[in-house]
Amino acid sequence: MDDINMDIILLCFQVFVWVSCILKLWNRNRFYAIFCMVLYLYLLPTEITYRFFPYLYDAYWGKDVWCELYWFVNFSLITLFIVLNHTSKIHKVYNVVYYRRRNSKSIVYFFVLVFSFLSSYLLVTNMVKISYQSLVENGSMGNENILMTIIDQMFKWLPAFVIFPMVAMEQKKWYMQVFTAYNILLYTIYNILSGSRSDILAVVLGLVLLWIYGRKIRIKQVFVLSFIAITFLYLASFTYSLRGGVNEGTLEEILLKQDYTAPAYNLVGVIGKNIIDPLMVINSQIIKTFPLLGGDWLYFLIADSLFPSSQVSASQGWAFHPFAEGYIFCGFLGFVYNGLVIGLGLSIWNRFILTNNERFNRFMFAIMGCIFFSLVRSQSVNFFRYMYYMFIPSAYIYSRLSNIKINYRGFLR
């Protein structure tokens, strides 16, 4: 049996084992299971590409690197499963949600309306400037356009601050439904202009999670959702032209040279270059905990070593798989780091969907699912960052609209 056939069998074995782990988690904690699906979506295509189609990318570090990558990914996934499987056995309800006797919704509705209006205004007045290339160049070589940064951040917040609170409220009034649909359309238009396919898929996932929460999913519904996902991926492959590319090429180029392949290529690179620097990881994690502290993401710190001939852009900072962080921290033994750190981060997030209010749990379940696609393309410090600049503000908006109060200190118990 030649090496290629053996490696195909090894990958099939990995898929079988990880799918089995996901199914086991699904019966205990769908939140963990869905994260593991998204995490693996950004690993398997890279493993396939590097081993069987290395010519699709400029960088290649040899066959031995693929072997180490394969086993490092396996051990990281298994360690993560052990941690998640253990924490999923812990059944605890956090009594942190209380109903208000008096509550003024008008201020929050006004904020939602103003946020939507400002997003619309920025989109209309800057439509010509918004493109994938403009966002890539924004922040490169110290050349940051503040307006483009504000626009991009506004639309990253739009789902959490406007779309999901309105959808989760299940408004019966027609004008509320029209307003919600308008903001979904607004968000879609921006991401089409900016060529951001993953963000559209993330919101679709969040809306699906709102629908499936608390439901018993039948096999027929799984097939329907799978068909929708496959259709989206097929259409997404034809939006490459929005980024200035050409949709021509072989089937493997169309399927594998996509957003979900690039992040884990940094993991391949750090293995190939044997980049191990625990102090760099610790320093970056601490500094990036709060945006105002400055500092660089790990991707920028290792980019020159991995791709010395490429110009580093701001958007490429998101092309970083969290498993690479573990390898940089302590080499091959970083699989222990990956399982513990990611597992701990997820277990903390999981508390937000274990409250005594099912409607609040459903809302937070969707918000977190929407963020998964960003989370698996960045450092683990974002487990903390998203809590204070995404979860808490969006939870406050939803709580005011729903006549409830949240005791955040209760999550620490």
What is the share, in percent, of the chain residues with pLDDT greater than 90? 31
Give the pLDDT mean for 281-304.
Answer: 83
d(CA 269, CA 303): 9
pLDDT at 217: 64
Q: How far, in Å, are 19, 349, 403 from residue 22 at the CA level? A: 5, 18, 36
Q: Rounded to the nearest 10 degrees, how much is the dihedral formed by the CA atoms of 352, 355, 361, 363? A: -70
pLDDT value at position 212?
78
Q: For residue 210, what pLDDT band results from cuts at 50, 70 and 90?
A: confident
Q: Which amino acid is at 209?
A: L
Position 355: which residue type?
A: T
pLDDT > 50? residue 214 = yes
Determine the Cα–Cα distance for residues 400 and 100; give it in Å rounded to an integer: 9
Residue ranges of the alpha helices (H) in 29-105?
30-41, 44-52, 63-87
Which of 281, 297, 18 has its CA nearest to residue 139?
297
Output the DSSP codes for 172-226.
Answer: -SHHHHHHHHHHHHHHHHHHHHTT-HHHHHHHHHHHHHHHHTT----HHHHHHHH
Statement: residue 26 has pLDDT above 70: yes
Contact assessment for residue 320 and residue 314, using Cβ atoms and an 8 Å cutoff: no
What is residue 262's predicted lDDT score, i.e. its pLDDT?
78
Helices 262-273 and 322-330 meet at what angle, rounded to 10? 10
Enumerate the domain spans of the chain: 3-94+261-382
Predicted structure pTM score: 0.85
153 contact partners, CB below 8 Å, separation of at least 6: none
Comparing 129-138, 182-191, 193-202, 330-339, the range with the smallest average pLDDT is 129-138
Indicate the average pLDDT of the chain: 82
91 exposure class (CB count in 10 Å sphere: 0-12, 13-18, 19+): exposed
Neighbouring-strand partners of residue 94:
355
Q: Are 22 and 36 in contact (CB under 8 A)?
A: yes
Least confident of 38-42, 65-69, 236-240, 269-273: 236-240
State the Cα–Cα distance between residues 15 and 20, nearest whole angstrom: 8
- Taking the CB of residue 90, how many other CB atoms lie within 10 A of it? 10
Best CA proximity match to 32, nearest among 44, 20, 23: 23
Amino acid at site 27: N
Residue 406's SS3 state is strand
What mean pLDDT comes out for the span 60-66?
85
